[in-house]
Amino acid sequence: MSTGDWLADRLGWTRVEAYLAKRSVPRHGFMFYVGGITLFLFLVQVASGVLLTLYYQPDAAQAHGSVERIVGEISYGDLVRAVHVWAGDLFVASLMLHMFIVMARRSFRAPQELTWLSGIALLALGVGEAFTGAVLPWSERACMDARVGSELALYVPLVGAWLRRLMRGGEDVTSNTLAHAFGFHVAALPAALTFVVAVHLFARSRNRAGSAGATDVPTIPLYPDFFVRLAVALTGVMVLVLTLAIFVERPIGPPADPRLSSALGLPPWYFLPMHAIVRAVPGELLGIDGPRFLVSAACVIGLAVVALPFIDRRGSRLTAWLAWIALLALILVSVRAIT
């Protein structure tokens, strides 16, 4: 008996294979693979992130230097950091794209409410990872984004003051902010993400039949057909991540100095719409603080998105249109902020 046969026998592989082959999934285009791609990018982040913790120092005096050391001295450190930065951006992008696609396909309808809710939780956790991760190099830029991001959080109704203290590890942006960001970035948020991913996949697999509209779409077996296609898609994603990591530089920027004025420039791309709107809105709007008005509006929209399966029970065409219009508007506002 070969080693492969022995392992297959001990694992009961033939039964697993038979079970997977019996399950089928609708045959869709690229959009059906975005969820799988997002999960894959999360795994890339876990792997590259664990490697980074081996040299990163979560201390205000040493953080910036330790990131420079990873990039400058450690063998392949520049590659590991660049993969983490790029795959992180792509992770957030694919989380958002995944949400818009589900909205547009109206796949949030009953019985997929739990899938939708856990998906929105994943989006929130993913953005939390991006926000805390951006703080860790403790550069000028990092400090400023931490300041503005947490100050905006102050305007969240009811829990604002608590949320700002949570994000800063105190009233102000200090060395404690970095310690907090590190703990959340490498421990609390990844643990929560792992748990919610499990809930998300479980909820999804339980109610496959009710999703994606019509039942007369052609299907393919989960294994090997779907897995092979997914493998091709993931290979493509890995090629994209490596290409970006090798050829497009992501500078660390100068270290933070609390006396220096905040750096000019732009926040990470996923904050660009908020940045552009914040800049354009005056100090007061309809008698309310400008930022308070904006953040409250964002919270209302956020709640509506969370409650979408309960507001739009049947999945109207309007929601699909709104999804594409919202995506287009966000892209246009972002482009305006850059140019």
Partner 1 sequence: MPANDDRKGVPRRDFLNVAVGGSAAALAVAGAYPVVRYLAPPPGRSKGVVRVGELERFPVGTVHTVLVDERPVLMVRTADRLRAFSAICTHLDCVVAYSAERRQIECPCHGGVYSLDGRNVAGPPPRPLEELTVTVDEGVVLVSPAG
Binding site residues, partner 1, CB under 8 A: 144, 147-148, 150-152, 162-163, 165-166, 169-174, 176, 258-264, 278-279, 281-284, 289-291
Q: Which is nearer to partner 1, 215 or 261 (CB)?
A: 261
Backbone conformation region of residue 169, classed left if phi is above 0, alpha if psi is from -120 to 50, else beta: left
Closest approach, Cβ 264 to partner 1, in A, equals 5
Closest approach, Cβ 155 to partner 1, in A, equals 9
Q: Which is nearer to partner 1, 157 or 224 (CB)?
A: 157
Q: CA 55, CA 68: separation in Å to the nearest integer?
A: 10
Q: Which is nearer to partner 1, 116 or 184 (CB)?
A: 184
Q: Of 278, 314, 313, 315, give the one whose Cα is nearest residue 297.
A: 278
Q: CA 113, CA 115: separation in Å to the nearest integer?
A: 5
Q: Of 59, 123, 101, 105, give the one whose Cα is nearest residue 306.
A: 123
Q: Which is nearer to partner 1, 98 or 185 (CB)?
A: 185
Closest approach, Cβ 99 to partner 1, in A, equals 27
- CA distance from start to end of the chain: 65
Closest approach, Cβ 135 to partner 1, in A, equals 14
DSSP string over 184-241:
IIIIIHHHHHHHHHHHHHHHHHHTGGGSSS-S-S-EEEIIIIIHHHHHHHHHHHHHHH
Closest approach, Cβ 171 to partner 1, in A, equals 5
* The two structure tokens encoding residue 241: 């991540």
Q: Which is nearer to partner 1, 175 or 207 (CB)?
A: 175
Closest approach, Cβ 271 to partner 1, in A, equals 12
Q: Which is nearer to partner 1, 104 or 179 (CB)?
A: 179
